[in-house]
Amino acid sequence: MIFVHLGAGAGDLDERANFRCGFTEFIKKNIKSNDKVFILEANPKNIPKLTECYKDFSNANIYNLGISIYNEKKLNFYYTDDDAPHYQVCSTKIEHIKKHYPNSIIKKFEIMSLSINEFFKEKIKENVIDYLSIDLEGIDFDALMSINMKTFDIKNISIEFIHLTSLEKRKMIKHLNQNGYSYVGNGYDHNNFDFLFKRKKIFLNRLLSQFLWMISSKHIKFFNFFISK
């Protein structure tokens, strides 16, 4: 199996997240000797923690890269020291930082970047991905919508939804349904901030997911009672 984590932060070594990361936990619980893990994190300050996090997993590949939406080779990322030590809010969108830290001094750094399709093609070098987690702080929707679904067969997609607008949710659900996916409940994030889509046609789920964009975060767990797994 192939696991891909885009925007891994400090993995399960972030004390501000109570040393938890749902997708990291999922990987460590399910990985086998022949499986591969591809981890992307733009903030260089988190790379040492990720290296430590996966020190016992020789099949884990860690990349200090950004994901570009418009095929830029380098990107500016914005952050604030008030978000230290692991900078959970680090984004290519300065307004994303200002939204969370309106009174903080915002800094930036430049990092090499690839489009999401280039990352799959050049680093993973496989067309089939079993599990993909997207947590890209402000560009989750754009990154997902730019994936070439005809080239890459991604079996399960977990995407953070808390920064998505209602319109983005509607467009994303329609796009994924059209490409053979069905909503199957919460994703791998331990805070239940992710939607999970499986590349499988489940008629009831597709019907119900048309209303998902209307559901508030606190009511999604009730909505999921009606979702087939």
Please list the pLDDT of the chain residue by residue as tens digits (229 residues). Answer: 999 999 999 999 998 889 999 999 999 999 999 999 999 999 999 999 999 999 999 999 999 999 999 999 999 999 999 999 988 899 999 999 999 999 999 999 999 999 999 999 999 999 999 999 999 999 999 999 999 999 999 999 999 999 899 999 999 999 999 999 999 999 999 999 999 999 999 999 999 999 999 998 889 999 999 998 8
Contact call for residues 67 and 24 (beta carbons, < 8 A): no
> In the chain, where are the structural domains located?
2-69+116-226
The whole-number pLDDT of residue 158 equals 98
Kindly report, residue by residue over 178-198, the tens digit of the pLDDT.
999 999 999 999 999 999 999
* Residue 112 three-state SS: strand
Contact call for residues 210 and 204 (beta carbons, < 8 A): no
CATH number, domain 2-69+116-226 = 3.40.50.150
The whole-number pLDDT of residue 94 equals 95
Q: 82 is written with which tokens?
A: 């008030």
Peptide bond into 102 cis (omega under 30): no
Mean pLDDT for the chain?
Answer: 95
Percentage of residues of the chain with pLDDT beyond 90: 92
Contact call for residues 76 and 109 (beta carbons, < 8 A): yes
Please tell me what DSSP assigns to residue 225: G
Beta-sheet pairing, 2-6 with 66-68: unpaired
Report yes or no on whether pTM surpasses 0.85: yes
Of the candidates 117, 92, 121, 120, the residue with the CA atom closest to the CA atom of residue 106: 92
The whole-number pLDDT of residue 195 equals 97
d(CA 83, CA 77): 14
